[in-house]
C-alpha cells in the first residue's frame, strides 16, 4: 500500500521572483505535514481526492490521537524556527497562514479536547462510505470494492474509538452518535442496491458479509453509547475563557466576544425590521406572521418537485452571474443536487454542500437537501419557493460551490488546509444579499425569505456565544430559534443540537457576511473609480478560503 508520507506529489506555489533561501524549506515542511495528515486520516485523504488509502479507515485510538498532537507540536516548532528574513514576501504570507492553521488546530486538539468527550465514530464511518459512494472519481465497481474494504475495517475502528472517549460523556453528543449508528444501515442499503448488477457474485457476497459485520459492530457501538448515557451530563459549554481564546485564534481582527454578540443582536434587530417591510410589500393588509405562513405554504407538492426547484434556481442564478458580469464562472465546474443521506438528516435539517475533491479529475460538487427531520409532516414548508431561491444562491451560485471550486485551483497546500468558516459561510450569506442588490429574484417574497434566513443566522451568533458561555441551554435556545425564525420545532431542535459541538462555527455565517461587506466598502474607498465588483469577487475567490484578515493583506498588496 502506498505510503503517502513519501510518495504523494503535492502542488506548491510558483517560485517567487524574489525567492528566499528558505522558501523551499517552508514548502517541504507544509507538504510533509499534509502527507502525514492524509496517512493518519484516510477519510480526510478521500475528502481531498487522495485515494491511495481509500481501503483504510485509520486509527482513532487515544494513543494515535496523542501521537498526532505531538507531531503537530513538532511541526509548529519547525515552522516557527524559520527565519522570516529568509523568505520571499509570498512565502512569508504562507508561513503566517501555516502558523495560524496549526495553532488553531492544536488549540482544539490539545486544549479543548472535545474529541475525548464527543464520540463521532459512527459519523466518521458514514463519511468514509459516503465520500467514496457519492463521488465518481473511479468506476463504481472499484469504489464499491474500496467501500467493502472500509466496511471490513469498521469493527476494529469502533473498538479503537472507545479508547479515546475518556472524558465525562455529554448526553446530547452520545445520543447524536447513537442516531448516526442507527441511521447508517440506510446508507449501507443504498450501497448494496447500487452494487446489484455491477459486482460479480463473489464480490457481492463479500460486500454483504462486510456490511452485516459493520451493522453488528454499529449495534454494539450504539449499545455502548447508550450505556454511557446513564452517567452522562449536559456540560457541553466551552466556558467564557476557552471560548474567548478560540475566537482570538480565529484571526477575526480586533473583534472580541462581546463585540461579536453586539453584532448579532444588531443584525437581529435590523433584519426583523427589513423582513417586516418586505412582508408588508407582499401584502400590506396582512400581518407579518400571516405573510410568512402564506409564503411557507407556497411550496412544491412533492420533495421530488422541490429538488427540481433547487436545480432550476441554481441554473438561473448561474446564468445571471455570467450575463451581468458579477464574477468569473469557470467552464469546468459542475454540481449535482441529491437528497441528504439518511444518516446526516438529524444534524443537517435543511441543506448543505460538499465541495469537489481537490485532487479528483471529477470536480462535481454535491448539494444535499433534507426531505424531513424525524418524519415531520410539516417539513415541506421549509422548502417553499422563495426559500429555494435563497438557499440555492448560498449553496451553489455564487455561493459555496463556485467559491470552493475556484479555491481548489490554488496551488497552496496551506490554503487548502485552512479552516476559515467566517469566509466560506460568510461568502454564502454575502452572496444572498449581493444577488438581491444586483436584481436577481429581488421581489418582496424573495427578500422576505432572505431576511428570514438572516434572522436565523443572527440567532446563530447570539446562541453560539450565549450557549458556549453557559448562559443558555438547549431548550431555551430551541425556543429562541422558533420564536425568531418560525422554524418547525423539529428543525430548530436539530439545529441547536449541532451548535453544542461546533463552538465558534455557527456565528461565522452572518459575521462573515458583515466582515466581507466591510472589506468591500474599504476597497471601494481605497480604489475609488478603479474599484470593480467583479475584480473584487474574483480576487477573493482566487485567493482561497482564508480568514478575512489574510484576505485584507492580499488585497492591500495588490493580490
Q: Give the model's pLDDT for residue 7.
A: 62
Q: Give the model's pLDDT for residue 394.
A: 94
CB 497 within 8 A of CB 176: yes
Does the pLDDT of residue 5 top 60, yes or no?
no
The predicted model gives 394-407 an average pLDDT of 95
CB 153 within 8 A of CB 121: no
502 in any annotated domain: yes
The CA distance from 366 to 317, in Å, is 17
| 527 plus 433 within the same structural domain | yes
Does the pLDDT of residue 557 top 80, yes or no?
yes
Q: Cell 441551554 identifies what position?
A: 473
| 155 plus 277 within the same structural domain | no
| 262 plus 219 within the same structural domain | no
| 199 plus 298 within the same structural domain | no
Does the pLDDT of residue 386 top 80, yes or no?
yes
Q: How many domains does the chain have?
A: 2
| 217 plus 357 within the same structural domain | no
Long-range contact set of residues 163-168: C-beta below 8 Å, sequence gap at least 24: 163/61, 163/62, 163/63, 164/60, 164/61, 164/62, 164/65, 164/115, 164/116, 165/116, 165/117, 165/119, 165/228, 166/62, 166/116, 167/113, 167/116, 167/117, 168/117, 168/232, 168/233, 168/235
Does the pLDDT of residue 511 top 60, yes or no?
yes
- 282: cell is 407582499
| 195 plus 267 within the same structural domain | no
457 in any annotated domain: yes
Give me the chain's average pLDDT, please.
Answer: 93
237 in any annotated domain: no
239 in any annotated domain: no
Q: Tens digit of pLDDT for each residue in 454-471?
A: 999 999 999 999 999 999
Nearest alpha carbon to residue 421 among 520, 350, 503, 521? 503
Residue 431: phi and psi, rounded to 5, are -60, -40
The predicted model gives 20-45 an average pLDDT of 97
> In the 8-state DSSP scheme, what is residue 233?
B
Q: What is the DSSP string of 160-192?
A: HHHHH--SPPBHHHHHHHHHHHHHHHHHHHHHH
| 295 plus 423 within the same structural domain | yes
Q: Tens digit of pLDDT for each residue in 222-247?
A: 999 999 998 899 999 999 999 999 99
Q: What is the DSSP string of 286-354?
A: S-HHHHHHHHHHS--SSHHHHHHHHHHHHHHHHHHHHHTTSS---TT-EEEEEEPPGGGTTT-SSEEEE
Does the pLDDT of residue 103 top 50, yes or no?
yes
The CA distance from 391 to 376, in Å, is 20
The predicted model gives 109-129 an average pLDDT of 95
Q: Tens digit of pLDDT for each residue in 516-531?
A: 999 999 999 999 999 9
Q: Show the domain range for 431.
A: 245-556
Three-state DSSP at 238 gives: coil
470 in any annotated domain: yes
Q: Give the model's pLDDT for residue 558.
A: 82
CB 196 within 8 A of CB 176: no
Confidence at 373, pLDDT banded by 50, 70, 90: low
Last residue of a domain, one of 197, 229, 261: 229
Quote the percentage of the chain above a pLDDT of 70. Answer: 97
Q: Give the model's pLDDT for residue 137.
A: 81
Distances (CA, A) of 388 to 356, 384, 495: 22, 6, 19
The predicted model gives 414-440 an average pLDDT of 97
> What's the pTM?
0.93
| 481 plus 352 within the same structural domain | yes
526 in any annotated domain: yes
Q: Give the model's pLDDT for residue 168.
A: 86
Last residue of a domain, one of 199, 229, 259: 229
Q: Give the model's pLDDT for residue 173.
A: 94
The secondary structure element, H or E, covering residue 365 is strand 364-369
> In the 8-state DSSP scheme, what is residue 109?
I
235 in any annotated domain: no
278 in any annotated domain: yes
CB 365 within 8 A of CB 395: no
| 279 plus 203 within the same structural domain | no
The CA distance from 252 to 111, in Å, is 20
Lowest mean pLDDT among 209-218, 230-239, 508-517: 230-239
Does the pLDDT of residue 383 top 50, yes or no?
yes
| 280 plus 193 within the same structural domain | no
CB 71 within 8 A of CB 36: yes
The CA distance from 154 to 239, in Å, is 35
| 257 plus 225 within the same structural domain | no
CB 186 within 8 A of CB 342: yes
Three-state DSSP at 367 gives: strand
Based on the number of CB atoms within 10 Å of its own CB, is 217 exposed (0-12), middle (13-18) or buried (19 or more)? buried
Does the pLDDT of residue 559 top 90, yes or no?
no
Does the pLDDT of residue 1 top 60, yes or no?
no
| 217 plus 269 within the same structural domain | no
Quote the percentage of the chain above a pLDDT of 90. Answer: 84
Last residue of a domain, one of 169, 203, 229: 229
Pair type for strands 351-354 and 334-339: unpaired
Q: Give the model's pLDDT for residue 374.
A: 67
Amino acid at each position: 500500500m502506498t505510503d503517502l508520507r513519501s510518495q504523494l506529489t503535492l502542488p506548491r506555489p510558483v517560485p517567487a521572483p524574489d525567492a528566499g533561501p528558505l522558501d523551499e524549506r517552508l514548502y517541504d515542511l507544509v507538504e510533509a505535514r499534509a502527507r502525514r495528515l492524509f496517512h493518519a486520516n484516510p477519510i480526510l485523504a478521500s475528502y481531498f481526492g487522495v485515494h491511495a488509502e481509500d481501503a483504510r479507515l485509520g486509527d482513532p485510538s487515544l494513543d494515535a490521537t496523542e501521537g498526532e498532537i505531538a507531531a503537530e507540536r513538532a511541526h509548529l516548532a519547525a515552522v516557527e524556527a524559520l527565519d522570516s528574513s529568509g523568505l520571499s514576501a509570498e512565502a512569508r504570507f504562507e508561513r503566517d497562514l501555516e502558523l495560524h492553521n496549526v495553532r488553531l488546530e492544536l488549540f482544539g486538539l490539545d486544549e479543548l479536547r472535545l474529541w475525548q468527550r464527543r464520540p463521532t465514530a459512527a459519523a466518521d464511518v458514514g463519511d468514509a462510505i459516503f465520500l467514496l459512494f457519492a463521488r465518481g472519481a473511479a468506476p463504481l465497481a472499484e469504489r464499491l470494492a474500496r467501500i467493502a474494504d472500509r466496511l471490513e475495517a469498521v469493527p476494529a475502528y469502533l473498538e479503537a474509538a472507545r479508547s479515546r472517549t475518556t472524558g465525562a460523556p455529554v448526553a446530547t453528543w452520545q445520543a447524536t452518535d447513537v442516531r448516526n449508528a442507527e441511521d447508517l444501515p440506510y446508507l449501507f442499503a443504498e450501497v448494496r442496491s447500487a452494487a446489484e448488477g455491477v459486482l460479480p457474485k463473489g464480490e457481492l457476497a463479500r460486500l454483504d458479509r462486510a456490511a452485516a459485520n459493520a451493522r453488528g459492530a454499529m449495534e454494539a457501538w450504539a449499545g455502548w453509547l447508550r450505556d454511557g448515557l446513564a452517567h452522562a451530563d449536559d456540560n457541553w459549554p466551552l466556558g467564557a475563557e476557552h471560548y474567548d481564546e478560540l475566537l482570538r485564534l480565529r484571526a477575526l481582527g480586533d473583534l472580541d466576544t462581546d463585540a461579536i454578540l453586539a453584532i448579532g443582536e444588531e443584525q437581529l434587530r435590523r433584519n426583523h425590521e427589513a423582513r417586516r417591510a418586505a412582508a408588508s410589500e407582499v401584502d400590506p393588509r396582512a400581518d407579518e406572521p400571516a405573510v410568512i405562513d402564506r409564503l411557507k405554504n407556497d411550496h412544491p407538492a412533492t420533495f421530488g418537485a422541490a429538488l427540481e426547484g433547487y436545480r432550476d434556481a441554481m441554473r438561473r442564478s448561474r446564468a445571471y452571474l455570467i450575463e451581468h458580469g458579477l464574477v468569473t464562472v469557470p467552464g469546468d465546474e459542475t454540481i449535482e443536487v441529491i437528497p441528504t443521506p439518511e444518516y446526516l438528516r438529524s444534524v443537517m435539517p435543511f441543506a448543505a454542500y460538499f465541495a469537489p475533491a481537490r485532487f479528483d479529475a471529477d470536480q462535481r460538487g454535491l448539494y444535499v437537501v433534507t426531505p424531513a427531520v424525524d418524519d415531520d409532516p410539516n417539513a415541506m414548508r421549509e422548502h417553499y419557493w422563495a426559500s429555494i431561491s435563497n438557499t440555492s444562491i448560498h449553496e451553489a451560485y455564487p455561493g459555496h460551490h463556485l467559491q470552493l471550486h475556484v479555491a481548489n485551483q490554488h496551488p497552496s497546500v496551506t490554503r487548502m488546509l485552512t479552516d476559515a468558516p467566517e469566509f466560506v459561510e460568510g461568502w454564502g450569506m454575502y452572496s444572498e444579499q449581493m444577488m438581491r442588490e444586483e436584481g436577481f429574484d429581488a421581489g418582496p417574497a424573495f427578500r422576505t425569505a432572505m431576511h428570514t434566513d438572516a434572522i436565523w443566522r443572527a440567532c446563530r451568533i447570539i446562541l453560539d456565544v450565549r450557549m458556549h458561555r453557559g448562559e443558555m441551554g438547549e431548550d431555551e435556545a430551541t425556543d429562541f430559534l422558533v420564536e425568531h425564525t418560525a422554524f418547525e420545532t423539529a428543525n430548530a431542535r436539530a439545529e441547536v443540537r449541532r451548535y453544542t459541538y461546533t463552538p465558534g462555527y455557527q456565528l461565522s455565517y452572518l459575521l462573515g457576511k458583515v466582515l466581507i461587506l466591510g472589506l468591500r466598502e474599504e476597497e471601494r474607498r481605497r480604489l475609488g473609480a478603479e474599484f470593480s465588483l467583479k475584480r473584487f469577487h474574483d480576487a477573493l475567490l482566487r485567493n482561497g478560503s482564508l480568514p478575512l484578515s489574510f484576505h485584507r493583506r492580499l488585497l492591500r498588496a495588490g493580490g
